[in-house]
Structure 1
Amino acid sequence: MARAAVGDAVKRPRTASRVALARAGNGGTWLRQVEAQLDFSVENGWYQTGDARITMLDVRAVNLEVAQPEVKLTSCVDSSAVVDRYQSNSQPIPAVSDNGDRHRLESRLVYARSAETARKMWILVDEKTTKTC
């Protein structure tokens, strides 16, 4: 749900809502990174089309014996269908990276009370690209 909300937000960064992203389970460092990406897109007149797809998901660690239970995941995300475009004419932005369309991500989720909903939920708080897959 958290990544789906981010996928929707990058398609329309001008109207993306931090509250909606947080309600969908985005938080912490991850939410700040998403907000920075959205701000950059708005400032440069960009948006995205297409959807990234998770092609592999592995549970690396689970710790339920702490105040904020935590799950660490490794996933492979295929972004080959994602295209960055200019708002002004919908033309694709020339790609400047050659690091491929498949990226390995390390994600951390915590089970905590959401500041937006006041209910406990799994919140994606950190995600880093570690290499290609």
Structure 2
Amino acid sequence: MARAMTGRGQRAGEGNLSVRLAKSEGTGRECLEEAILQSFFDGELSPSMMGSVTKHIVSCLPCAEAAREVEKEMAMLAAAFNYEMPLSVPTVLLRERLYAAMPNYSRGWWGATASPVARVKRHKGASSERA
């Protein structure tokens, strides 16, 4: 699998897929960069890039194998962290995508000005008593 070779100031996943391919070691084929695969599984690519990466994975055996490896690693990490953090915490990027998908949702004046980290809701079962 080729290693990530992102351009200066460019996030993995940005740009056109043909530019984001690198020669695979020993095969002479152009394969997905590791950073692109990771961004694909993290859901950080644009819809058009997601489609392009999916098509490439289906047609390229080395990339399909690399994708399976990334899936295995993510499953192992999820299982390891599930014990420590049973509820997933959405990232700021995911939260913003969710807000964008809900046009009638209003965060109000507090939500618009507060840091995303400061907006932590109390768990339903949490006690209101102070220790």
- Same fold? TM cut 0.5: no
TM range (shorter): under 0.3
Higher strand share: 1
Q: Which structure has the bigger radius of gyration?
A: 2
Higher helix share: 2
TM-score normalised per structure 1:
0.24
